[in-house]
Chains A and B, each alone.
Chain A
Amino acid sequence: MDQANAIELKNITKRFGKVIANEGVNLTLKKGEILSILGENGSGKTTLMNMLSGIYMPDEGQIFMDGKEVSIHSPKDALDLKIGMIHQHFKLIDILTAAENIILGLPGSHVLKTAQIEEEIKKIIESYGFDLNPSQKIYDMSVSQKQTVEIIKVLYRGADVLILDEPTAVLTPQETDKLFAILRNMRESGKSIIIITHKLQEVLDISDRVAVLRKGKYMGSVNTQEATVGGLTEMMVGEKITLDIKRNDPVDPQLRLKVDKLTVKNMEGIKVVNEVTFTSNSGEILGIAGIAGSGQKELLEAIAGLEKIEDGKVIYHACDGKEIILSDLSPEGIKNQGVNYSFVPEDRLGMGLVGNMDITDNMMLRSYRNGKSIFTDRKAPKKLALDIIQELGVVTPGVTTPVRRLSGGNVQKVLVGREIACNPNVLMVAYPVRGLDINSSYMIYNLLSDQKEQGCAVICVIEDLDVLIELCDRIIVLCNGKITGTLDARKTTKEEVGILMTKDTKEGE
């Protein structure tokens, strides 16, 4: 099995300001293999691949192709070297057709021969078994169709090396199977493929070899046949971790929030949350499981009044027994009704925090209305900011540093710290430990448990199923916007949750 190397990376280092994204990475891709790059969120997988595709330039190190050193200054250079990357966030232009997107930036006749181009694209579609109409506009397409366009785009350019960044995060299991079949076809025709992922099972399913990154550093590679889940996990996360999360039994749970047949549509009119019904109790942590993009974000935002609700109800049961229908209210209305909820949204800097403001001013986001004066009070928020910096170990040059300059983990701590400081009755958190190291993650888990013990109803979306099962009291599983199961966290298993996460309910959309 000693194939020639298609790509060789030597000693690649990339920094963003003070943050080191990749440090001295060495990596080889052999011809005609499928290589998985495995790593936790924030381990530098995407940054590394972006240097191959010309989005970033390495600060140090060399890239070799077929034994020759190359320098890739732009995506164009990458394409000239027949490297094509399919990004996690699709780089497509909405108002153009699939065919127009596919030929974008290519040389050729000045006047477009649309019919001929579409014919060529149809050939690719047929030869690999894709399903796509080349003259369809992107804004009319589903996510998997858009991904298809991205892959064909790279193939049309004759790429020999394909890099796929988390391609399955947005796909249903059937779509994933289809994609893997296509990737295998490509390998047969001699292409080399890199697939970035953090899902172990997929790594074992599809790849020939696995390379592991941890905190920006290269940890080595293993042939998939010799790899085990345990071994890979260890390489990925470092020392073997035994989860030890504090979890007491709920004390006197009372109904706090009732979500009844909630339906939310996205901009394209697709039901991203589909008749979801569940309850959340005080003194209890409710976990939400699901593949990324199954409607978790929209569900939480709809409850917080930030998404337009198509149908259904959200009812808040106050401690004094009063019922307030939240689904009729704006965030302002919810606030005015005296509902005390906290929300850590998925999009930290785009929704939860103001990037250009310092920590103190960000603390004010929740409390600036306090008091009758028309002027704001900065003393209390400043004290809160200092407390959070100290207690959660936020690394920052000072309270006056704009939060956008902080690293992802520290941004996260600031946000979670503020939301918990509100002493909420309902606390909703999306991916509370994304970007955090293990220690900080545990600190956050324990904070959530503390909130639960103080009688708060906690709802959290967590990617890591092990954590979810050990931290939560109950779990609901979302798949394609629908609830596929409600489980007792103490009795369920990872496998059971995993199956429900991919259990498609036949109705399509």
Chain B
Amino acid sequence: MDIITVFIQKAIGQGIGILFGASGEIITEKSGNLNLGIPGIMYMGGIAGLMGAFFYENATDNPIPMLGVIISLLAAFLCAAFGALIYSILTITFRANQNVVGLALTTFGVGFGNFFGGSISKMAGGVGQISVSTTASLYQKQIPGLSKIPVIGPILFSYGFLTYTAVIIAIYLTFYLRKTRSGLNLRSVGENPATADAAGIGVTKYKYLATVLGGGIAGLGGLYFVMEYLGGTWTNNGFGDRGWLAIALVIFALWDPSKAIFGSFLFGAFFILYIYIPGLSRSAQELFKMVPYLVTILVLILTSLRNKRENQPPASLGEPYFREER
């Protein structure tokens, strides 16, 4: 395989986790909730999935990979959705400030992930290094046959099923937002909840559902990282700041999940570019890692300059909604 193929493959591998996070955050933000807890939620999803598979594999002698996958998927999704539910209760029902709750959730979620990641082995009776190789192997299974085609194979078909799930989710969400009735309702809730309310749309219901489902989807990003990317192990803070990159990607994609697909590959590419540029000093490599953030800032500035109506954040983003407030 030539270096460019490998580069593209690795960039996509880096991008998918962020894509899950961004897709989840986009539908959350479309309901008017700016959930800064997404980084924490992704940690929660990752560790819950890992623990689910771990306890399952430890409990049976002959773990069935498929069952491990299902258990971990459910655990990751539900745990992440639970994190988003805390956020929803505090911001929607209790009307607390979204930024404050989001940041608290990130503190909690990252702690949650690292705490259980660090103590899972002790809790299971000191089994040493956690590994869920049986389950992870199914996560990492490439598409048989197709992945062997030269060039196209590695670039398009050499990934586990979560990668394709991420892309499908993003495409579906774009379709959902643009072409479906409930997508239209969701957009209107985020743009102008008072209007949506007057039109008979259950604003609270939409906000809850979008935020909780969005959290669940973002949690799969953590699971992806743990299972497909790391192969079923945990390292504390290994997920790093990818959660914040996911929030950056939302801006970069101008709140459109299908744009986030290529955006995520691009971010992934920025993330690893330094490895593939020959002759870079170590210090220059560090500067390269800054690129995704700088690009996001640039996009943020450009959209505010161009001021095109369709490209703006949802108009009520960050604002609480209370019908009888006056």
Contact = CB atoms under 8 A, between A and B. Distances in A.
Q: Are A and B associated in one complex?
A: yes
Interface of A: 16, 53, 55-56, 74-76, 79, 85, 87, 91-96, 100, 103-112, 137, 139, 153
A107 B202 CA distance: 12
A110 B195 contact: no
Given A96-B184, A100-B184, A112-B181, A76 B192 contact: no
Interface in B192-224: 192, 194-202
30 contacts: A16-B326, A55-B198, A74-B200, A75-B198, A75-B200, A79-B200, A91-B195, A91-B198, A91-B199, A92-B195, A93-B187, A93-B195, A94-B191, A94-B192, A95-B315, A96-B188, A100-B184, A103-B181, A104-B184, A104-B188, A104-B196, A104-B201, A105-B185, A105-B199, A105-B200, A106-B200, A110-B180, A111-B179, A137-B309, A139-B309
Nearest to A85: B198
A53 B198 CA distance: 8
Contacts of A110: 180-182
Given A100-B184, A110-B180, A105 B201 contact: yes
Given A91-B195, A94-B191, A96-B188, A76 B181 contact: no
Contact of A56 (B185, B194, B310, B324): B324
A76 B180 contact: no
Given A53-B198, A110-B180, A111-B181, 4 more contacts: A55-B198, A94-B309, A95-B309, A153-B199
A91 B184 CA distance: 15
B122 interface: no
Q: Number of contact residues on B: which range applies?
A: 20 to 34
Nearest to A92: B195
B217 to A, nearest CB: 19
Given A93-B191, A94-B309, A105 B323 contact: no
Contact of B199 (A16, A75, A95, A137): A75
Main secondary structure of the interface of B (DSSP, over half): helix
A420 to B, nearest CB: 28
Nearest to A87: B198
A100 B194 CA distance: 16
Contacts of B185: 104-105
A310 B191 CA distance: 30
A47 B19 CA distance: 47
B295 to A, nearest CB: 25
Nearest to A90: B195
Interface string B61-81: 000000000000000000000
A319 to B, nearest CB: 43
Nearest to A110: B180
Contacts of A112: 179-181, 184
Interface of B: 179-182, 184-185, 187-188, 191-192, 194-202, 309-310, 315, 323-324, 326
B309 A76 contact: no
A76 B198 CA distance: 7
Contact of A108 (B181, B187, B194): B181
A95 B200 contact: no
7 tightest A-B CB contacts, nearest first: A76-B200, A105-B199, A91-B195, A105-B200, A104-B199, A105-B201, A91-B198
A139 B192 CA distance: 14
Nearest to A138: B309
B25 to A, nearest CB: 20
A111 B309 CA distance: 24
A104 B189 CA distance: 10
A74 B202 CA distance: 9
A96 B310 CA distance: 9
B84 to A, nearest CB: 24
Contacts of B200: 74-76, 79, 105-106
Nearest to B314: A95
Contacts of B192: 91, 93-94
A95 B191 contact: yes
A306 B201 CA distance: 37
Taking each of B196, B198, B201, which has the highest tally of chain A beta carbons within 10 Å of its own beta carbon? Answer: B198
Contacts of A111: 179-181
Nearest to A153: B199
A188 to B, nearest CB: 27
A100 B192 CA distance: 14
Nearest to A80: B200
A95 B198 CA distance: 17
Contacts of A74: 197, 200
B148 to A, nearest CB: 38
A95 B310 contact: yes
A451 B324 CA distance: 40
Contacts of B309: 94-95, 137, 139
A94 B188 CA distance: 10
A105 B191 contact: no
Contacts of A16: 326
A288 B319 CA distance: 37
Given A93-B188, A93-B192, A96-B188, A109 B181 contact: yes
